[in-house]
Amino acid sequence: MHELALMEGIIAAVQERAAAHNITRITKIKIVVGKLTMALPESLSFAFDVLVADDDLWKDAKLEIEEKDVECRCRACGRCFGGLPLGVFSCPECGAASVEIIHGRELLVDYFEGESLDGEKDRAQDRCSAS
């Protein structure tokens, strides 16, 4: 279950950015996960719940996960396409196997929201990615 390690990295990145923005309580976090990462949204959600359960910074925080489908562009004919079975990377138009993956490998924090000590709401959208 590599989702636990991935979520640990995401949480650490967000905590670092929250401190930089003087956020003392995180209320929401949205992450984008490409299907090629093979990270299961349900497992990421479970790992998130376990990792933040006893941390006041994350009290009642909501996790939103956007899953990105695989999208490719053929280097031979330029056609953009998606919807192929995972592992199949040939152009449905010309049959070329030289494709550029445009989407599907993402694993990033789109944004997070929180409150500072003075009760001000803040939203950070730094696009930090987990490592």
pLDDT digits (tens, 9 = 90+) for 25-74: 999 999 999 999 999 999 999 999 999 999 999 999 999 999 999 999 99
* Tally of residues, the chain: 131
pLDDT at 129: 45
Tell me the angle at which helices 41-52 and 3-20 cross, rounded to the nearest 10 degrees: 60
Residue 34 and residue 130 in contact, taking contact as beta carbons nearer than 8 Å: no
Point out which residues pair with 124 in neighbouring strands: 112
pLDDT at 83: 78
Architecture of domain 1-69+104-131: 2-Layer Sandwich (3.30)
Q: ∠ CA 48-21-110 to the nearest 5 degrees?
A: 45
pLDDT digits (tens, 9 = 90+) for 60-112: 999 999 999 999 999 999 999 987 777 788 999 999 999 999 999 999 999 99
pLDDT digits (tens, 9 = 90+) for 1-28: 689 999 999 999 999 999 998 999 999 9
pTM of structure: 0.81
